[in-house]
Amino acid sequence: MKPRLIVFASGTETGGGSGFENLVAASQGGTLDAEIVAVVSNHANGGVRERADRLNVPFVHFPAPWGSEDYRTIVSGFRPDHIALSGWLKMVSGLDPKITFNIHPGPLPRFGGPKMFGHHVHKAVLAAYRACTIRHSAVSMHFVTEEYDKGPVFFKMPVNVYSDDTVDAVGSRVNNVEHLWQPVITNLVVHGQISWDGQNPNSLRVPKDYQYL
């Protein structure tokens, strides 16, 4: 039986959700051997809902407040083996950190934390690049604890930044790398090849031949 995966993806009121759709595509004969049992968004009729309806994936609207009990209630209804945050912009609490993981559009830990998402990350990265304090951006993946972007990082893929870049150009390049690698690394997580005990960052385990920065 395939591992069961639930995806949390905020999107916007008019768009978003491309990462979620990319995971669905990968699960249908691609690089992700998993069953996506549902997608959750804080927008009732946004881009994520449109994609979910088109892809025949069960959709859950998750409005405020986003409390621990609310998270647990939603997740328990679908009995997932893992929980993937893919552009989910709300603080997470109450979920098992051993099975909950996130993709972040910048180098962690420096470019993480509250309000550091999307174009905010790319703007900060571009400023740091122009100040010569970093040489590239990155796509990062990490397990989720109850502190923003503080869980163990298990994947970083560098993304080039150039002196004449705009914030949108950096964002587009990062998004392309996210779509390439997210299903691949997600597959390693849902099949137990990347794991931790949920408490000690030093317990992080990755495959012997796995390379990450």
Give SS3 for 35.
strand
The stretch 36-56 carries a mean pLDDT of 98
For helices 18-27 and 167-190, give the axis angle rounded to 10 degrees: 40
User: Domain spanning 4-114+139-158+175-203 has what CATH number?
Assistant: 3.40.50.170
Mean pLDDT of the chain: 96
Measured distance CA(78)–CA(37) in Å, rounded: 7
Which residues are CB-contacts of 116 (< 8 A; sequence separation ≥ 6)? 106, 124, 148, 149
Within 13 Å of residue 193, how many CA atoms lie on the same side as its CB? 13
- The per-residue pLDDT for 15 is 96
Residue 62 binned pLDDT confidence (cut-offs 50, 70, 90) = very high
- The per-residue pLDDT for 208 is 82
- By CB neighbour count within 10 A (0-12 exposed, 13-18 middle, 19+ buried), where does 198 fall? middle
pLDDT surpassing 90 at residue 211: no
Pairing relation of β-strands 82-86 and 100-104? parallel
- The per-residue pLDDT for 126 is 98
pLDDT surpassing 60 at residue 213: no
pLDDT surpassing 80 at residue 144: yes
Measured distance CA(209)–CA(109) in Å, rounded: 24
0.85 exceeded by the pTM?
Answer: yes
- The per-residue pLDDT for 212 is 58
- By CB neighbour count within 10 A (0-12 exposed, 13-18 middle, 19+ buried), where does 75 fall? buried
pLDDT surpassing 80 at residue 3: yes
Q: Which of 100, 85, 96, 22 is nearest to 57 (CA)?
A: 22
For 72, the token pair is 């647990």
Which residues are CB-contacts of 111 (< 8 A; sequence separation ≥ 6)? 104, 121, 124, 125, 128
Residue 210 binned pLDDT confidence (cut-offs 50, 70, 90) = confident
Task: Work out the angle at residue 83's Cα, subtended by the Cα atoms of residues 207 and 61, and round it to the nearest 5 degrees.
Answer: 160
- The per-residue pLDDT for 10 is 98
Q: Where are the domains of the chain?
A: 4-114+139-158+175-203
Residue 8 β-bridge partners: 40, 85
The stretch 26-47 carries a mean pLDDT of 97
Mind listing the pLDDT tens digit for each residue in 89-109? Answer: 999 999 999 999 999 999 999
User: What percent of the chain stands above pLDDT 70?
Assistant: 99
